Amino acid sequence: MSSEKEKAIVISRQERGHQDNKQPLSSLLPLPHLHSVSPGSACPPSDQVFLQAAAIFQQLGRVKPEPHQVLQYENRTDTPPHSSDDKATQKQAYQLAFNTLKYQDLLEAVIFDSFFHKSQNIYSDLLPLAMVMLYDFQDRRFLLRRRPAEGEQKAVAEVRDLEKCLQRWKVKLAASLARFRVKHSLRSVSCFLSDSLRTKEHRAKSLPFYAWVNTLNSSLDEICEILQSANLSEVKNMADLTGSTFSKDPLCPDTLIFSRSLCKPLQSSALTTTHVLNIQDRSVCLAVSVSQPVLFDRRDVLVAGSFSALTVAHVAAAAAARSGRVLVCGADHTPVQTEEMKNLLSQMEIKNVKVLPAAFCRLNERDIAVQRLKVIIVLPQCSSSALNDPVTTMHSEHGDWNLLPDLSHGSISKSKIFSLTTQQARLLAHALSFPKVQTVVYCTRSVCPEENEQLVGRVLEKTHTHPKLLPFRVNGPIFPDDAASGDETDSRFFRLQPSQFTNGCFIARLSRQVDPTKVESVQDVLARAAAKGLLGGIISEPSKPAKKSKRKKKRVASSTSRPSSPSSQEEPEAAEISDGVDPAPPSEDEDKEGEEKEGEENEAEGKDSKTKSEKKKKRKSKRNQKQSSDAASLKNQAKGQKKKAKRKVNPSQHSKPRRIPRLTLTLMSAEKPSRHLSPITALAHKISGKPVKKLEEDSAPVLEKHLSHAQSAPQTASERKNMQPEEEERNLEKQRSRSGNVRKTQGAPTAAGHILPPISSPSGSVARPQSPTSSHQLASSSSASLREL
């Protein structure tokens, strides 16, 4: 790389204001030229790798029934195999043990057919070591292992002695292998495996690897310029990858793809050792990429399940762009894993990660640490059946090594699937139980429906959502529009099938959403908003219509039976104003029905001990006998008026005057009234000018108050002459007869207490004020007809 680009492309901590002892990335440049390395030139296993692989094979090897046992191994112990502190050695040992498990039957047949274990006096405790060394020996085509120089590695006597025995017996071992291939018609040793295992093994040898860029220190474009300066060229499609090319991941915006031959040189480069580039499986990178669009500003995201320190760092880098924080439950990991996580975060200078002391399933919504939690990423332990090479991912993401025997045969037992799905459902259900969480991302590296869409659907059906919260629903991942990578996607879930370019995975993103099949009305939306308190009292709760109508009936009944005081005149008006609609003037039939109903209601007030059934019977009998019901209703009205007249009424409580309907005012004040006038209107016109006795002195203030709010009715002789004599005369005779009966019952003081509000004059007519005497005369003549209405 030229010196000008080295100075221009600086990914340093000095520019960010860090004054620490760590060297900037510019000092790691120039980047050495990266040259591809063939897979066959990998370093052979060391003595320590053989010992660890033998211990892993003995622990995980498949135990056959006694009639089918070819070799007698030493009894298996429950203690886990000793793991080396060196990550590379541990990974290589598990890889060797996994390959030996895949070819266990073939290797046992070769040792038994060549009499190797009997001729070389190989005891049962050394048979696991002989199995792993024989696999490596035949994989190198029975060539000698290139040993490291003295002092670089510690020599193990058992390994060196067994290696010499294999060299002495290699001809017979090769002959036994050839006979086995002929017997089973195998074109190669790999044909011994099933088609699915052989395909995965072939893909794993040429599978490209993925590395995400630490965006806290650099950008994707800057890293691409550095790689191009190291004689690497960028290609658009990952299918065009060769030994000296790289490509950008179309689904992950911060991830680069490299060919398998560049893995070793890039791992030893400064970009990887300083964690500017971080090699990781694509399935984990996709889970973080799906979570990025749903992150909230200054909110938390929690990672639950089984994952590595690199996964936490990747999520923290994505959350830092939104000033968010990452939560990790430390009780779900071993102390070694927690310490490894803290060390890596310290090296990468990531400070937005908080390790909680509690386990994830013990957290609840009331914990202070999760009050800002909005997103949860669930990465549970899975069967890893979608991985071409499960050892690499399981080693980096702390997978379950007990799955290797099932994976070596290409199928997972039902008991393992049941135990895995139980734990996965527990994690997912607990993630959906937080009310403040808006999105849950669920990711597995499995092709089993029991771990993927079936589990998600089952958990969603059993999840109970609070009525004030929206339920969780499956929401497809959001990826760039130009992500034409041949991956299988649909609207609900994201499935990435294993191929020669990538491992497989399954991702489900669950978000709180409204049911798209349910059409919600405006009233439902307003009711839910009012229940949450979002309207702030703008819309009050709707009152019950049944109670309101019942209350209105009681108020109207009490107003008809109460004396004609100012308060009694204003109460019916308040009911009319509350309805907001002026009632139409009643007809003659309606007046008769109203009189019957009022008499029945007053009778119910006077006789509270009567049951509802008795009232119904009386109503039927009174409908058949109209004449008797009229007399009984008048008598009950008189009784109710005497009782209610004793009550004290405060006139100051009622401030609004009674409002007379517009249609009634027009008909009453017209010079030529209509033939279809109501009885009360005709009565008002007829008796408006007749003299009456003077009022008592205590009723004068009340009269003056009503006269101030209304205009006087026209009392000219021409107006009275224009009235229809025949029809009005009949109505007046009826009303006078009824009013006479009431006067006999009530007496003069009660009749004088009822006042009819003055009638306002129509537009264009001249109104003259009435005297108190004429107003009382009008009231005394029409008091009985008002009560009957």
pLDDT in tens, 293-351: 999 999 999 999 999 999 999 999 999 999 999 999 999 999 999 999 999 999 999 99
pLDDT of 584 over the 50 cut: no
- Integer Cα distance of 240 and 235 in angstroms: 7
- For residues 709-724, average pLDDT: 46
pLDDT at position 654: 45
**Choice among 340-349, 386-395, 739-748 with the minimum mean pLDDT:** 739-748
Secondary structure of residue 563 in the 3-state scheme: coil
Average pLDDT over the chain, rounded to an integer = 74
Highest mean pLDDT among 71-75, 80-84, 516-520, 612-616: 71-75
pLDDT at position 693: 41
pLDDT of 256 over the 50 cut: yes
pLDDT at position 123: 86
Question: Beta partners for 326?
Answer: 301, 353
Cβ atoms of residues 319 and 507 within 8 Å: no
pLDDT of 694 over the 50 cut: no
Secondary structure of residue 587 in the 3-state scheme: coil
- In the chain, % of residues over pLDDT 70: 58
- Integer Cα distance of 18 and 225 in angstroms: 24
Q: In what order do the strands lie in the sheet with 233-235?
A: 233-235, 245-248, 255-258, 209-213, 277-279
Q: Tokens 């793809």 identify what position?
A: 257
- For residues 438-463, average pLDDT: 94
Six token digits for residue 278: 């971080």
Secondary structure of residue 118 in the 3-state scheme: helix
- For residues 219-232, average pLDDT: 92
Q: pLDDT tens digits for 605-630?
A: 545 545 556 666 666 666 666 555 55
Cis peptide before 30 (omega within 30 of 0): yes
Question: Beta partners for 209?
Answer: 258
Cβ atoms of residues 772 and 701 within 8 Å: no
pLDDT at position 36: 52
Cβ atoms of residues 68 and 37 within 8 Å: no
| Phi-psi category of residue 410: left, alpha or beta, with phi > 0 → left and psi -120 to 50 → alpha | left
Domain ranges of the chain: 47-192, 281-512
Cβ atoms of residues 109 and 178 within 8 Å: no
pLDDT at position 759: 46
pLDDT at position 705: 47
| 732 sits in which H/E element | helix 725-746
- Integer Cα distance of 376 and 302 in angstroms: 5
pLDDT of 158 over the 80 cut: yes
Superfamily for 281-512?
Vaccinia Virus protein VP39 (3.40.50.150)
- Integer Cα distance of 349 and 214 in angstroms: 11
Secondary structure of residue 187 in the 3-state scheme: coil
Nearest to 357 by CA among 329, 336, 334, 337: 329
- Residue 332, annotated as binding a ligand: yes
* N-terminal to C-terminal alpha carbon distance within the chain: 106
- Integer Cα distance of 442 and 424 in angstroms: 9
Cβ atoms of residues 315 and 525 within 8 Å: no
Q: Tokens 């459902």 identify what position?
A: 425
CB proximity list for 626: less than 8 A, separation 6 or greater = 592, 596
